[in-house]
Chain A
Amino acid sequence: MTDRVLPVILPLPKALRRDASSSRLCLSLWHAIALAAFVALTAMAADAATGQPTRASVLVVLARWSPLLLRGFGFNILISLMAMAIGTALGVFLGLGLVSPRRPVHALSWVLTEFFRNAPWLVLLFFMIYMLPFRIQIGPLSIALPDWVKAVIGLGLPVMANVAEIMRGAVQSIHPGQWEAAESLGFTRNQQLWQIVLPQCLKRMIPPWMNLYAILAMGTTLASIVGVNDVVTLAGQVQAAEGGRTDLLAPLYGYVLLLFFIYSYPIALLTQRLERRYAVHI
C-alpha cells in the first residue's frame, strides 16, 4: 500500500531525503581518503624538499612507527573514556544540584559549574598535576597516582561541569506544563523529576553529550603537555628517534591529525543525525 504513489505527487528523490544515511557515510570515507592523500602529499613534498635518496622515505618511516603511534592513540582514547565516565558520573550529581529548588544546593552547584566551565582545560590540568599527591594513603591502602591518572581527573572535572550544564539545559527545555501536570496528578517533586522530567531529558541530552565526548577526545592531547606519554608525545619521540629529521614533522603531526579525524568524524556525523532525529519541532 505504502509503495503506491499518486501520479501527481512523486516521492522525493533519494538524494534529497533527510535521512540519506548511505550518502553521509560515503562522505566520511571520502574525507578520510582526502586526508590520507594530504598526509601522503606533505610526505612527498618533504621528500622532494630534502632530495637525499639515502634516507628512508617519509611513508616508510610512518609505516614503521605506526604500531607505536597507534598504541599511543589507544592510550588517548582510554584517557578520554575514563575521563568521560568520571565526568558524567559526577556531572549528573552536579546537574541535579543545579535544578534543585533548594537555594544553597543550587548556589553551590552553580559556582562549581561556572568555575570548571570557565577555567581553561590546560590550567586545570596543570592544577591537578601539581596539586594532587603522587600517592594517596587511605588507612593501610596506598594508591599510587601516576601522571596519567591525574590527567584523567583533570580532564574529568571540566567534563563534569559541562555535563551538569547539559542536564540543566535539558531539564529547562521540558515544557513547564509537564511539571504542572505531574504535580496536579499528585506526584511529589522527586517523582516529578525522576519519573516525568528526566526520562524525557535523556533523549535530548545524548547529542550534546556526544559532542562533549568528541571535544574531550580532542582535549586528551593536552595531557602530552603535562608529561603523559600520549600520541603527541610519541610523535615527537619518533621524530627524535629518526635522527631529528625536520622534514618528518609535518607528516608525523599530519598522521596524528588523521587518526583523530578518523575517530571523531563518525561521532560528529552520528551526533548530527541524532540531533536531527530528536529535534523539537514547535
Chain B
Amino acid sequence: MHGIAIWFRHLYETTGINLTIAYDPFDRARFLDGFLVTLELSAITIIGSIVVGVIGAWLQGARLVWTRRIVQVYIQLFRNTPPLVQMFFFYFGLSSLLPTIKNSFGMQEPPVSGFAWACISLIFFAGAFNVEIFRSGIEAIPSSTIEAAEALGYTRLQTYLNVVLPLAMRVCLPALTNNLVNLIKTTTLAYAIAVPELLYVSNQIWSDSVNVPVMMVVLFIIYTALVGLLVAAMKAWERALHRPGLGT
C-alpha cells in the first residue's frame, strides 16, 4: 500500500497527474465514502423504483377509474417535470413544512435527512418511468394467458404476481435496463442538496487539490464502470430469465 502511494506521488512529481485519492489517506477515505454513498443511493433507488413500478402497474390495471387516473396523474407529473426541481421541492419545500425534532445534542434538525429525501425523490422520479415500462410489458401478455389463469381459479392479485408479472418482466427488461442506467446517472443530482455522494466529494477534493481534470477522468471512469456493471448484470438476468418461445 505504501509502495503504491509512493509511486503515485512520484507520478505527480514527474507528470503532474495529481491522483490525491491514491496517495493521500484523507482524500482516499472521503472518496471511498462518497463512492459508497453513491452505491447505496443507486441500490436503494433501483430497488425502490422497481417496487413503485410493480405496484403502479398493478394499480393501473385496477377496475376503479379513479385509481387509474391518480396513477396516470402521478406518472405524467413526474415524467414531465425536472428531477432536480422535484428534489428541491421535496428537500426544501416539503421538509420546511414538516416539524423539526431534537437530536441527541439538543439541536433542532429536520426529521428526514438529505440522503433520505434524495432517495425518495429519485424513487418517485424513476418509479414513474418504471410504471410505464411495466405496463407496456403487461400489455404484451396475450389476454388468453390471463383468462387461462382465471379459469384455473387464480385471484386477480395471484394472476398478476404469478402469471402476468413474471412474463411481463421478460418483455420489458431491456427498457428497464435503460431506465435504471439513467437512474444511476441521475443520482449525481443529490449533489445539489449536499448529499456527500461521489460527485460531491470529488468537488471537495478538486477544490482542495486543484486537480479538476484528473478527478473528472476518474469520475467518468467510475460512472462508466458502474453503468457497465449494471448493464452486464441486467443482461445476465435477462439470459437467466429467458424462456424459449417467449419474445425474441
Contacts and interface: CB of A to CB of B under 8 A. Distances in A.
B213 A131 contact: yes
A46 B98 CA distance: 10
Contacts of A246: 96
Given A131-B213, A250-B89, A224 B84 contact: yes
A131 B94 contact: no
Contacts of A232: 82, 84-85, 88
A115 B85 contact: no
A253 B85 contact: yes
A126 interface: yes
Interface string A119-134: 1111100110011000
Which of A115, A253, A260 has most B Cβ within 10 Å? A253
A252 B93 CA distance: 8
Interface string A214-255: 100111111011000000100100000000001101111110
B236 interface: no
A22 interface: no
Given A247-B96, A250-B96, A254-B89, A115 B82 contact: no
Contacts of B187: 120
Interface range, A side: 35 or more
Interface stretch (A4-12, A169-177, A197-205, A261-269): A261-269
A268 B76 contact: yes
Interface string B121-153: 000000000000000000000000000000000
A24 to B, nearest CB: 12
Given A118-B224, A225-B192, A46 B212 contact: no
Given A122-B199, A123-B216, A249-B96, A257 B86 contact: yes
Given A131-B216, A221-B85, A118 B181 contact: yes
A42 B188 contact: no
A250 B224 contact: no
B77 interface: yes
A126 B199 contact: yes
A215 B228 CA distance: 22
B188 A123 contact: yes
Contacts, number: 119
Q: Is chain A's binding surface mostly helix, strand, loop or mixed?
A: helix
Interface in A119-165: 119-123, 126-127, 130-131
A250 B188 contact: no
Interface string A178-203: 00000000000000000000000000
B220 A119 contact: yes
B73 interface: yes
Which of A49, A121, A122 has most B Cβ within 10 Å? A122
Contact of B89 (A257, A261, A265): A257
Contact of B76 (A31, A42, A119, A224): A31
Interface in B191-206: 191-192, 199, 203
B168 interface: no
A68 interface: no
B223 A123 contact: yes
A268 B97 CA distance: 32
B171 interface: no
Contacts of B92: 249-250, 253
A34 B76 CA distance: 12
A256 interface: yes
A217 B216 CA distance: 25
B181 A261 contact: no
Given A123-B216, A254-B93, A265-B80, 5 more contacts: A31-B77, A122-B188, A123-B188, A246-B96, A268-B80
6 contacts: A45-B97, A123-B223, A131-B216, A222-B189, A256-B82, A264-B81
